Amino acid sequence: MRRSLVQNLVLLAGFLVCLTAVVRIQHRNLEKVKLNPPFVETWLLSGRSGEFLKLLALRYDLVAADFLWLRAIQSFGGRGMTNRDWKPVYNMFDTITELDPYFEAAYTFGNMVIGDEGGRQREALGLINKGMFRLVKQYRLPFEGMYVAHWQMGDTDLARWYGRVASKRKDAPDWVPRVVAYIEVKAGAYYIGFDRFISNYLQGLDANEFPIQQIAISKIQEAIDRWNKDYLKRALDEFTTQTGRLPRLIEELADTPALQDYEVARMSKFVAAVEKWARAMNREYGIHPDLLKNLPKPSKEDLEAPLPPNTATKPGAKWEDLRNEIFRESLVRQKGIPENPYGSPYVINQTFLGYRWAKVDDLFMRETERLDFLKNLLNGVRDSIRDRKEMLGRMPKSLREVFYTDFNTTEPYGGEWIYDPATGEFRSSTHPEM
């Protein structure tokens, strides 16, 4: 008993000696920080510092990790990342997580310090990766990796990988697959995104949660819209290559190779499939009437088509069980211009044709969107004319006098701009009433 007490006292004395040395080193370096405008790291830890500190901690690994954690917060809060070498900082968080492998906050905070503040996003993801394979039942770290990869780095493929890992973790909330589905659609994985949004919608039906149904329907529309516009963009590129000119109407794209015998999801087919299964399951509705009124109406043939063979609903069946059937029934092979999931046909906005920087959402839109765009454009030019009139004390003689250069903006419908210098009236030839 006495021998054991002596050993413990020796260990305690050794620990106090080491702690005293550490505090003195810290104090000395803190004084250097105060004298130096650039940041000087107060813990110049090497890549093998974790192994070394494990020996010095004398099995008090968690205590040492907590001490280093407090020092990391002080260090970052005091000077930020200005003029800081990222490697010692990385080693600090790497050492903390060696001493305490399950210290989740150290992984996420380290990622923020090195990545968001230090600008070394890929190096910061090394901490996320390290923690992700240690905390194997928690979704937070891979979800953090997905956020960084997509919104900070713009690496959609890497974000998809993190997202899939996060959605399979045991503690992943229901909304995680929805965020992952959004990234799948952004990455062009339309089949996957559409399938997951269908799942979200059916879960909302099973739970009788209208907000979930509403969000899922909007995401299904968005997925189909992006899917359609991807084909339309390919068709536009093929048309300009073949003809050497830009199209005047979207119907000119119908005969391009990209729009021949292609598969896509159709919103009206989705509506028909859900409504048919609602009747088969004796449910009041498959799509809430408030949502249905804003969706394209399915054809009578689609609504009356028989259910797929060898499918039957069992008592107490859930909507989620019908996910595969509804997904398959929503797909269609077709040729020509795809159906707009918002109920209004696609049109081309001539204003953005020919510009490389134009986004696909600027090129292809609904008629209501193109009309709103024209209204806003007319109002903007008219405001500029009024401002210029006040400056000159008279009506501008031309649009060049208003904008100090030729007015080269193309009319959205492909028409002409009409300016009357006598009255200052500015109109569009396609919509003179506006």
Sorted by where each begins, the domain ranges of the chain are 12-135, 189-345, 368-428
Instruction: For 300, list phi and psi in degrees, rounded to 5.
Output: -65, -35
pLDDT in tens, 145-154: 888 888 888 8
Identify the pLDDT of residue 230: 92
In this prediction, residue 379 carries a pLDDT of 92
- Is the pLDDT at 45 greater than 70, yes or no? no
3-state secondary structure at position 348: strand
* 48 or 265: which leads in pLDDT: 265
Q: pLDDT over 70 for what percent of the chain? A: 85
Average pLDDT, the chain: 83
Residue 33 pLDDT > 70, yes or no? Answer: no
Across 1-10, 17-26, 44-53, least confident range = 44-53
* Winning range, highest mean pLDDT, from 108-117, 260-269, 404-413: 260-269
Residue 42 confidence (pLDDT) above 50: no
Nearest to 332 by CA among 309, 311, 312, 305: 305
For residue 212, pLDDT over 80 is answered with: yes
- The pair of structure tokens assigned to 341 is 């999931």
Q: Residue 162: which of 181, 142, 188, 182 has the closest Cα?
A: 142
Which string of b and e fits 349-385 if b means at least 16 CB within 10 Å?
A: bbbbbeeeeeebeebbbbeebbbebbeebbeebeebb
pLDDT higher than threshold 70 for residue 101: yes
Determine the pLDDT at residue 27.
67
Mean pLDDT of the 88-109 span = 84
CA-nearest of 199, 264, 239 to 348 is 239
Cα dihedral 185, 188, 189, 194, rounded to 10, equals 40
Give pLDDT, residue 76: 66
Q: Per-residue b/e over 236-245, b at no fewer than 16 CB within 10 Å?
A: bebbeeeeee
Mean pLDDT of all residues in 274-283: 88
- pLDDT number for residue 358: 84
Measured between alpha carbons, how far is 370 from 249 in angstroms, rounded to an integer? 13
CB-CB contact of 52 with 88 (8 Å): no
**Percentage, residues of the chain above pLDDT 90:** 21
Say what the pLDDT of residue 69 is: 81
List Cβ neighbours of 68 (8 Å cut-off, separation of 6 or more). 43, 53, 92, 95, 96, 99
424 Ramachandran zone, left/alpha/beta (phi>0; psi -120 to 50) = left
pLDDT on residue 310: 60
Q: Distance between CA atoms of 162 and 55, rounded to whole angstroms?
A: 35
Nearest partner of 97 among 126, 127, 56, judged by Cα: 127
For position 173, what pLDDT does the model report? 84
What local confidence, expressed as pLDDT, does residue 37 receive?
A: 43
> E strands within 181-337?
262-265, 331-334
Nearest Cα to Cα of residue 143 among 113, 116, 104: 104
pLDDT at 231: 92
For residue 38, pLDDT beyond 50:
no
CA geometry: angle at 129 spanning 128 and 130, to 5°? 90
- Closest to 279 measured CA to CA, from 260, 305, 251: 305
Please tell me whether residue 206 adopts helix, strand or coil conformation: helix
**Is the model's pLDDT at 276 over the cut of 70?**
yes
Listed in sequence order, the DSSP H helices in 133-209 are: 140-147, 156-167, 175-186, 190-207
Question: Average pLDDT in the 363-382 region?
Answer: 91
